[in-house]
Amino acid sequence: MPEGGIELRRIAKQVINIEAKALQELANNLGEEFDRAVELLASCSGKVVLMGMGKSGIVAKKIASTLSSTGTPAIFLHPAEAMHGDLGMLSSGDVAIILTASGETPELIKIIPVIKDLGASIIAICGEPDSTIGKMTDLLLPAVVAGEACPLGLIPTASTAVSMALGDALAICLMRKKGIDSEEILSLHPGGNIGQRLFLKVGEVMHAGDKIPRVQMGDGIRTVLSEMSAKKLGITTVVDKAGELCGVITDGDLRRAMESADDISELTAEDIMTRHPKTVSASASCAQAVGLIEKHQITVLLVVENKKVHGVVHIHDILGKNKVWE
């Protein structure tokens, strides 16, 4: 009988490592069937219907929620209830995603022919590709695991982690394929923390005043490093004597300078900086700021008015990971 915190932590780490290994193997083995699943879901003219029994049903509910919140309408349909009238939720043009670890779930085996008769397509996320269900569906996404983290091999653990990861991967790939942007995500999350923050203005979350990292054009590398370390935003703005914005220095700029220069001690901020940095207005919404960050694949925007830097906003400020409201 395990006793004590050290032994319990050893067991906990073992569980996590088993699930992590299963997820890594899933990522390594993704094949063309995943691409076809994304294409099928993207072309769906109706809705996506998730189904599963037991733990698979719980995972199916989560995937349905994730799909809906990322721009793909989805619902959960309980297989047992479906056979007693709820199949009315399904129609031609829908896509059903069935989750099963064994591939032999009786309720699902019974309902698959009915779903096909209704004209809906079927994707199976299945732990046993050679099972009855694996052979019955239109498209199979293998969710195979070497074993569960449960020492008895009975409780779904690694298998549910893999199924949920597949669902998340489908949702995010569909989001990218459909071009769902931050404005659309905002409209789907008006009441949550994400939605509330995206409704804020950039001026409400930005770093301002003395919190803005700032160096002069002629400042040396030591001053640049000191300012970036002190302000902890991964960048510093570069201004001229009039205080007008001239450029920005990022961690990447520093690395490139160190790789190319023979003697970095001779470099100035002007030598290292990137000119014409991406900027945003303080009156812009955080949703608009996220859109710019996504478009340019950066993490920080400078808040500029009349050529003067009024603030700096990091993606973490918008997502609430920095303590910007203190």
Give the CATH number for residue 132.
3.40.50.10490
Domain with 138, as residue range(s), is 4-180
Mean pLDDT in residue range 77-95: 82
Give the CATH number for residue 235.
3.10.580.10
Q: How far apart are CA 236 and CA 118, in angstroms?
A: 60
Instruction: Let me know whether 65 and 131 are in one domain.
Output: yes
Q: How far is Cα of residue 263 from the mean position of the Cα atoms in its chain?
A: 41
Q: How far is Cα of residue 2 from the mean position of the Cα atoms in its chain?
A: 37
Instruction: Let me know whether 168 and 238 are in one domain.
Output: no
Does residue 9 lie within any of the structural domains?
Answer: yes
Does residue 89 lie within any of the structural domains?
Answer: yes
What is the model's pLDDT at position 189? 54
Instruction: Let me know whether 255 and 289 are in one domain.
Output: yes
> Which of 147, 180, 213 is the endpoint of a domain?
180
pLDDT tens digits, 18-40: 999 999 999 999 999 999 999 99
pLDDT tens digits, 44-56: 988 999 999 999 9
How many domains is the chain partitioned into structurally? Answer: 2
Instruction: Let me know whether 48 and 145 are in one domain.
Output: yes
Q: Write down the H helix ranges in the chain.
A: 4-28, 32-42, 54-69, 79-82, 106-117, 132-136, 158-178, 182-188, 193-199, 202-205, 221-231, 251-260, 269-272, 286-296, 315-319
Of 18-27, 176-185, 316-325, which has the strongest mean pLDDT?
18-27
Of the given ranges (36-50, 62-76, 97-111, 282-296), which has the lowest mean pLDDT?
A: 282-296
Burial 210-248 (b: 16+ CB within 10 A, else e): eebbbbeeebbbeebeebbeebebebbbbbeeeeebbbb
Does residue 324 lie within any of the structural domains?
Answer: no
Instruction: Let me know whether 126 and 79 are in one domain.
Output: yes
Q: How far apart are CA 244 and CA 176, in angstroms?
A: 37
Instruction: Let me know whether 156 and 276 are in one domain.
Output: no
Does residue 240 lie within any of the structural domains?
Answer: yes
Instruction: Let me know whether 126 and 268 are in one domain.
Output: no
Of 129, 143, 120, residue with least CA distance to 63: 143
Does residue 185 lie within any of the structural domains?
Answer: no
Q: Across the strands, what pairs with 99?
A: 52, 125
Give the phi and the psi of residue 69 in degrees, each rounded to 5.
-80, -10
Does residue 36 lie within any of the structural domains?
Answer: yes
**What is the reported pTM?**
0.62
**116 contacts 84 by C-beta, under 8 angstroms:** no
